[in-house]
Amino acid sequence: MIVSDTNFAVSETKIDLRATMLAIDRKVRIGHQAYPDIPIDELVDALIARAPARAVPAAPPASLEQAAAPSPVADETPLAPSDIAACVNDMFARHGSMPIAADMGDCLFTAMEIANTALVAPGYYAGMGYGVPGGLGLCAASDSRTMILVGDGAFQMTGFELGNCRRYGWDPIVIVFNNTSWEMLRVFQPESAFNDLDDWRFAELATVLGGNGMRVRTREELAIALERAATTRGRFQLIEAMLPRGATSQTLARFVAGFKAARERRA
C-alpha cells in the first residue's frame, strides 16, 4: 500500500513514518536509512524470528463473530446487496462453504454478512480491481472451489482475467454487483456525476471468455442462478446481479452513518 493511501484511511491517527518500516520494491526503509535488495519473504522470516512468541487464541473473541445475513424470501423483490449475502449463505448451507475473494466497495461490506469462511480482500481503494485476479490466485492455491465478489466498476478493470480459467481448469462462481455506479463513492459524494457508469452487460461476455453467464434482478432469480452455478462444474459461472442505484448493504450503511457522525463530532 502506498503511503498516501495508508494515511488516507478513516482513522484520525496518521502513521508516524519515523517509527515505520516501509518494504517497497525490494527496498526496506527505516526512518532515513534505506536497505536495497531485501526480498520480502526473507524480511518477514527475520521479523518473525525476532518477535516474542504469543499464545494464539483457540477462537476469535465473541465481539468479532460475524452475524450472517438471515435467509431471504425467494420472491420478486428487487435485489439489494444484503440479499446477495443471504442467498450465498443459503447456498453454502446446501453445498458447503467456499473461500471468497472480494473486491473493494460494497461487495467487501456485503462479504461481512456472509457466514464465516476464508476471505481475501483489499482494504483501500488503491487495491480496486483485486477481486478477479485475487480470486484466480485463490483458485490456484486452494483445493476447493472459489467464489469471487466484485463490483461493476472493478470488473471493468480486471474482469477479462476470467479468460484464463479455461486454460487452467478453474471454475469459480463470480458475482458481479452491477448497479451501473461507483456506489461506494456515491454514498460519500452523491452530487458527482462521475459516479454513473454505463451498463456493460457482463453476463453476455461470459460465454466468450469460456464461462456461463446469468443476469438476475430479483431474489428468486438469484437463488435459482446460485443453485445452477453450484451444481455446474468445469466452467466459471458469472452471475450479474443487477442492483438499483443507491442500494447498499446494511453493513455499508452502518459504516457510512458512523463515519459521518464522527466527522460531525470533529466539526
Residuewise pLDDT in 10s, the chain (267 residues)? 455 555 545 566 677 778 888 888 889 999 889 999 999 899 999 999 999 888 776 665 555 455 566 666 778 999 999 999 999 999 999 999 999 999 988 899 999 999 999 999 987 666 789 999 999 999 999 888 999 999 998 999 999 999 999 999 999 999 999 988 877 777 777 787 877 888 889 999 999 999 999 999 999 999 999 999 999 999 999 999 999 988 889 988 888 788 788 778 877
Using CA atoms in the order 165, 157, 183, 85, what is the torsion angle rounded to 10 degrees?
A: 10
Asked if 216 contacts 88 with a C-beta cutoff of 8 angstroms, the reply is no
CA dist., res. 134 & res. 101, Å (int): 6
Domains along the chain with CATH numbers = 3-50 (no CATH), 77-253 (3.40.50.970)
Q: Which of 129, 126, 81, 124 is nearest to 101 (CA)?
A: 129
Residue 122, number of CB atoms within 10 A of its CB: 19
- Please name the residues in contact with 26: beta carbons below 8 A apart, sequence gap of 6 or more: 36, 37, 38, 39, 40
Hunting for cell 444484503 — which residue is that?
82
| C-alpha–C-alpha distance, residues 55 and 61, integer Å | 14
Residues 165-205 pLDDT 10s: 999 999 999 999 998 887 777 777 778 787 788 888 999 99
Give pLDDT tens digits for 219-250: 999 999 999 999 999 999 999 999 998 888 99
Q: What cell numbers appear for 35 in the block?
A: 536497505
For residue 209, the Cα-to-chain-centroid distance in whole angstroms is: 22
**Which pLDDT does position 142 carry in this prediction?**
87
Q: What is the largest CA-CA distance in the chain?
A: 61
pTM of the predicted structure, to 2 decimals: 0.79
**Contact indicator for 233, 222 with CB cutoff of 8 Å:** no
Alpha carbons 134 and 245: distance in angstroms, whole number? 26
